[in-house]
């Protein structure tokens, strides 16, 4: 028994149990919010799907902590190709345009029960796995023009296939943010970012002026700049969300008593605007708890990068996971507050979605695996250092 106890203690300490508990607390809190947001539908389907997603996600987390992901990374080129095929499947079989504005879902009906999966969500993890290996392979030569060009090609192929297949702008932007953060953690010289940011801005301005950007996307940005713009159309979601957020005050209107939430006035209340539900029913302190949990999880991810180095494979992997969580948290909360265009990104661990919550636990499992199997760094200097195995 002592042997088992010591083995269990060693496993828990190596995997950082606080990371798992924070993810579990966030998912449990999200489950409570999803139940409140969907109780008016007279069905427990959403609650049960979310619960099953959490349980399967926990299994995926445990599985990942037992696997040295660096061994799997040797197949990164095959994983890259398979990821392109997977996310391109929505081009032929994708659904959801009528309800979400994109074709990012694959759905199948089994025994009268509809099962859906979002290839772009799973594809983010596969993208992180392959990009981390690419960055590690380049090492100190990451800032050379030829190598940076190959990294950009890696990103553009993945994100391009994703956007062409699904028309999901929000998901595509999340890939861009992951790419930028992983390059920054990997030690790409800042002069490249200094040149890329104005160049990207110029491209967006030209695309806007030349009407390359579709009108529906333009309208979403205009709704942020002018809150009164098309209030009954494209600005309706943000308008209702802000009413819910402000109406909650400090302590909220009470669990399952939110006026906007329970009346059905708040659109996408169990998915994109679950943060607004928390603000309305549980108030400022309920929202603050959400932000505290997600901030802690994000910190834990980047702490592994800090410890192992952004050029190491496992350190880069952890930076990618942290980037996913950071981007989706900032954008989703910004959507709910009306300061970011509504682009359909969910709040990690909290929004309804079996694929989403399972993917988040899988991502945490990768970070836990990195912490457990990662080599001890020598000469640590933030994200950059010359590292070697002891």
Helix (H), strand (E) at residue 219: helix 215-225
What's the total number of domains in the chain? 1
For the chain, state the CA radius of gyration: 21
Residue 7 falls inside a structural domain: no
CA pair distance 30, 371, nearest whole angstrom? 26
CA pair distance 62, 75, nearest whole angstrom? 22
Q: Can you give the pLDDT at residue 1?
A: 64
Query: Are 53 and 355 in contact, with CB atoms under 8 Å apart?
Result: yes
Helix (H), strand (E) at residue 115: strand 113-117
Tokens at 51, concatenated = 């619960």
**Per-residue pLDDT of the chain in tens (390 residues, 90 and over written 9):** 666 666 666 666 667 889 999 999 999 999 999 999 998 776 688 899 999 999 999 999 999 988 888 888 888 889 999 999 999 988 887 776 555 566 777 777 665 556 778 888 899 999 999 999 999 999 889 989 999 999 999 999 999 999 988 888 888 999 999 999 999 999 999 888 888 888 888 888 888 777 777 777 788 888 888 877 878 788 888 889 999 999 989 999 999 999 999 988 888 899 999 999 999 999 999 999 999 999 999 999 999 999 998 889 999 999 999 999 999 999 999 999 989 888 888 999 999 988 899 999 999 999 999 988 875 443 333 444 443 333
Residue 270 falls inside a structural domain: yes
Beta bridge partners of 108: 115
Tokens at 390, concatenated = 């002891």
Residue 384 falls inside a structural domain: no
Q: Where are the beta strands (DSSP E) in 234-379?
A: none
Question: 169: domain range?
Answer: 13-373
Burial class (CB within 10 angstroms; exposed 0-12, middle 13-18, buried 19+) of 5:
exposed
Q: Can you give the pLDDT at residue 40?
A: 75
Residue 76 falls inside a structural domain: yes
Q: Can you give the pLDDT at residue 215?
A: 78
Residue 3 falls inside a structural domain: no
Residue 380 falls inside a structural domain: no
Q: Which residue has the tokens 């709040």?
A: 347
Q: Can you give the pLDDT at residue 42?
A: 62
pTM: 0.90
For residue range 95-120, what is the model confidence (pLDDT) as tens digits?
765 555 667 777 776 655 567 788 88
CA pair distance 135, 118, nearest whole angstrom? 26
For residue range 47-72, what is the model confidence (pLDDT) as tens digits?
999 999 999 999 999 999 888 888 88
């Amino acid at each position: 028994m002592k042997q088992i106890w010591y083995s269990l203690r060693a496993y828990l300490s190596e995997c950082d149990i606080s990371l798992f508990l924070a993810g579990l607390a966030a998912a449990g809190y999200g489950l409570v919010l999803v139940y409140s947001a969907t109780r008016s539908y007279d069905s427990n389907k959403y609650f049960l799907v979310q619960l099953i997603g959490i349980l399967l996600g926990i299994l995926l987390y445990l599985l990942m902590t037992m696997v040295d992901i660096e061994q799997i990374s040797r197949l990164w080129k095959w994983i890259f190709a398979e990821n392109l095929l997977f996310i391109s499947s929505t081009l032929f079989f994708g659904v959801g345009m009528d309800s979400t504005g994109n074709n990012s879902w694959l759905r199948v009906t089994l025994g009268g029960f509809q099962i859906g999966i979002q290839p772009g969500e799973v594809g983010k993890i596969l993208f992180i796995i392959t990009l981390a290996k690419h960055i590690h392979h380049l090492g100190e030569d990451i800032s050379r023009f030829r190598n940076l060009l190959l990294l950009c090609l890696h990103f553009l192929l993945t994100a391009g296939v994703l956007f062409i297949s699904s028309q999901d702008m929000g998901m595509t932007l999340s890939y861009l943010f992951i790419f930028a953060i992983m390059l920054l953690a990997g030690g790409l010289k800042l002069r490249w970012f200094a040149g890329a940011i104005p160049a990207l801005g110029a491209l967006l301005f030209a695309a806007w002026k030349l009407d390359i950007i579709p009108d529906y996307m333009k309208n979403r940005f205009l709704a942020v700049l002018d809150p009164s713009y098309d209030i009954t159309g494209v600005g309706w979601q943000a308008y209702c969300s802000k009413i819910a957020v402000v109406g909650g005050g400090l302590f909220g209107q009470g669990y399952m008593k939110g006026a906007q939430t329970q009346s059905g006035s708040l659109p996408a209340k169990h998915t994109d605007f679950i943060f607004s539900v928390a603000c309305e029913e549980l108030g400022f302190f309920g929202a603050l708890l959400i932000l505290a949990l997600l901030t802690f999880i994000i910190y834990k991810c980047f702490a592994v990068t800090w410890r192992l180095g952004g050029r190491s494979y496992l350190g880069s992997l952890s930076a990618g996971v942290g980037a996913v969580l950071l981007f989706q948290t900032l954008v989703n909360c910004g959507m709910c507050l009306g300061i970011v265009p509504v682009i359909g990104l969910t709040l990690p661990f909290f929004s309804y979605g079996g694929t989403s919550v399972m993917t988040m636990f899988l991502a945490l499992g990768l970070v836990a695996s990195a912490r457990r199997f990662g080599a001890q760094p020598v000469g640590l200097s933030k994200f950059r250092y010359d590292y070697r195995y002891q």
